[in-house]
Amino acid sequence: MSQTVDRALSILPLLAQGPADLGQVAERLGVHKSTALRLLRTLHEHGLVYRQEDQRYRLGARLFALAQEAVENLDVREIAHSHLVALNDRCGHTVHLAVYEEQEVLYIDKVESRYPVRMYSRIGKPVAITVAAVAKLLLADLTEPERRVIAEKLDYPMYTSRSTPNPAAFLKELAVVREQGWATDLGGHEESINCIGAPIRGADGRVVAAMSVSAPNVVVTAEELLTLLPLVRRTAETISREYSGTTQPKKV
Amino acid sequence: MSQTVDRALSILPLLAQGPADLGQVAERLGVHKSTALRLLRTLHEHGLVYRQEDQRYRLGARLFALAQEAVENLDVREIAHSHLVALNDRCGHTVHLAVYEEQEVLYIDKVESRYPVRMYSRIGKPVAITVAAVAKLLLADLTEPERRVIAEKLDYPMYTSRSTPNPAAFLKELAVVREQGWATDLGGHEESINCIGAPIRGADGRVVAAMSVSAPNVVVTAEELLTLLPLVRRTAETISREYSGTTQPKKV
DNA sequence: AATGGGTGTTGCATATGTTGCAACGAACTT
DNA sequence: AAGTTCGTTGCAACATATGCAACACCCATT
């Protein structure tokens, strides 16, 4: 809606791919060098862009700080955190919390496994949306037309032989998840890693977040992991209740 | 330099403090509501701002993704990571990697402690600059006038009785660190937590990053932690060598 | 040494894009 | 049903961002 701001913001994803000099930025933006310079300067003043010694620009430090503050202000995260830690204490595995936002699912909290073999993931990292247990839970709660539209739009990378292969399979899986109220990812993302997850609901019953427990085969088999399901579901329900409680007196 | 972009970007730190509605944003920005609306819309299109159900705006998901991509593109981090993990394997404690940028020191990587008692920190979080071992290392490498200017500008919160109290003490500490080539934080941030750190240098000898090992008193005493110093310094030197190697053929 | 291409940078006139206004609509209170 | 409050839209006036051309600078080449 605002051309100038639009151009300035387009620089960010561009720099996310790697550092670039003024000429490159101007070219890829389709504007004159002097224009690009002024936009970059403004971004720089706000700390979103950093100028390294070789004069090239890259993303700046304030971005981290902003993302940091943002995540700490999420209500669900705050409420859920202690419960996630408690769950980790009991089972020892990696625990994740994720939300859905604008076509993306992303982790907003994580408690690391106590076992030496850990799975790779990071807060803020977009989730493998077609296979992750938390993604299935969050998408399963959308309306049927929404689910169809998104399922069609997605890519279906075959991380492993057990990855969700296409929209039809994904929609079917979402229906199952919706029905049973929990989800799994059995080697669909990484051959040797299994997850089980459960939804966290707001006062109106809608899914506001999803949590999961992940563990590699070498630590526990899929069957053993599934025995934790009741515990995971109870934890999710506890968080749901607490979250509903605090948000019931809906502030305006 | 660009008024429109400047205004738009000023919205981000504003929303970092918590969600706000259109009126609040317009007021705190000092512009008309319609103007604020258009800026917010542009930010929204780029995913930097999210509109929650109650119509209020808060920071959006893409911020995380951007910060994520940015951190993964840092050369030092990539080179250092495996060494940090190896160090953690050997000693079990929390390992941090930090850089200095525009008056701030921030963590860009972290390997969690294997012990149940962990210290709180998060990648992207600005470091307690007056006490942290990594901060001392990074600042100690600046020129003398730079150090003086920064030391004067900083706040000196007394986290504990052993926190650095004022600019003079800080400058003195930096001189020591600069001389000896390593740094400590013995209960200066959290009474019960000690850290030891070492610098990572580029080909020209300048400090490009700093790493540290942190452990709470309940796990190891400060003396025991100090026995790890040679190991930490060796690791930092290994990383320095590898980093210098890759950046020697200075790209233009 | 001097020249040439490659950067990033500045001042300026033009016109493009942004602004505030006022009026509308929707949702919620009284 | 009238009265708030909030978000939204179209429009005309103005301020602001734009591209240009010229400059400054650094490095490599001759």
Question: Average pLDDT by consecutive 10-residue portion of chain B (252 residues)?
Answer: 95 92 94 96 94 89 82 84 92 92 86 60 74 97 91 94 96 97 95 95 89 93 95 96 66 30
pLDDT number for residue A124: 63
Strand partners, A20: A57
pLDDT-based confidence at A59, cuts 50/70/90?
very high
pLDDT in tens, A137-151: 999 999 898 899 899
B19: left (phi over 0), alpha (psi -120 to 50) or beta: beta
A6 vs B contacts (CB less than 8 Å): 42, 45-46
Q: Per-domain residue ranges for chain A?
A: 3-64, 74-247
Total Cβ atoms within 10 A of residue A220: 19
Collect all residues with Cβ–Cβ distance below 8 Å to B252 and sequence separation of at least 6: A54
Q: Check whether residue A5 has its CB closer than 7 Å to nucleic acid strand C.
A: yes
Helix B62-72 with A62-72: angle, nearest 10 deg: 140
pLDDT at A109: 85
pLDDT at A97 over 90: yes
| A81: CB partners within 8 A, 6+ apart | A97, A109
Contacts A112 to B, Cβ<8 Å: 112
Q: What is the pLDDT of residue A62?
A: 85
Q: HSE-up of B49 (CA within 13 Å, CB side)?
A: 31
Which tens digit of pLDDT belongs to each residue from B196-252?
999 999 888 889 999 999 999 988 999 999 999 999 999 999 999 998 876 543 332
| Residue B26, pLDDT score | 95
pLDDT of residue B121: 55
List, in order, residues 6 or more apart from B169 with CB less than 8 Å away.
none
Is the pLDDT at A231 greater than 70? The verdict is: yes
Residue B132 CA to residue B148 CA, distance in Å, equals: 18
Handedness of CA A13, A14, A19, A21 (dihedral sign): negative
Query: Taking Cα atoms as reference points, which of B6, B24, B65 lies closest to residue A2?
Result: B6
pLDDT at B249: 39
pLDDT for A114 = 66
What is the phi/psi pair of residue A51, to 5°?
Answer: -110, 115
Q: What are phi and psi of B97, to 5 degrees?
A: -125, 135
B contacts of A12 (beta carbons < 8 Å)? 46, 66
Q: Which of A6, A39, A67 has its CB closest to that of B124?
A: A67
Architecture of domain B74-247: 2-Layer Sandwich (3.30)
Average pLDDT for chain A = 89
The residue to which tokens 């600069």 are assigned: B178
Residue A249 structure tokens: 């007196």
Which pLDDT score, from 0 to 100, does residue A115 have?
Answer: 63
Q: Poorest-confidence range of A121-130, A188-197, A206-215?
A: A121-130
User: Which of A141, A247, A81, A176 has its CA nearest to residue B52?
Assistant: A247
Write out the E strands in B142-245.
183-186, 193-201, 207-216
Rounded Cα distance between B55 and A245, Å, is: 21
Cβ distance B5 to A43 less than 8 Å, yes or no, reads yes
Cα separation of A219 and A217, whole Å? Answer: 5
Distance from CA of B250 to the nearest CA of A (A): 10
Residue B169 is predicted with a pLDDT of 97
CB of A170 closer than 8 Å to CB of A130: yes
Scanning every residue of chain B, which has its alpha carbon at the shortest distance from the alpha carbon of A64? B124
Contact A135, A121 (CB under 8 A): no
Strand C nucleotides, any atom under 7 Å from protein beta carbons: they are 6-11, 17-22, 28-29
Task: State residue A76's pLDDT score.
Answer: 87
Instruction: State the pLDDT confidence band at A70, using cuts at 50, 70 and 90.
Output: confident
CATH no. for A3-64: 1.10.10.10
B197 and B211 Cβ atoms separated by less than 8 Å: yes
Q: What's the fold here for domain B3-65?
A: Arc Repressor Mutant, subunit A (1.10.10)
Token reading at B64: 């995380």
Residue A138: predicted pLDDT: 96
Q: B53 phi and psi, to 5 degrees?
A: -60, -35
Given this model, what pLDDT does residue A116 score? 52
- What span, in angstroms and rounded, lies between the C-alpha atoms of B235 and B200? 9
Task: State yes or no: pLDDT of A233 exceeds 70.
Answer: yes
DSSP state at residue A105: E
pLDDT at A229 over 50: yes
Q: Determine whether the interchain pair B8/A12 forms a contact, defined as Cβ–Cβ distance below 8 Å.
A: no
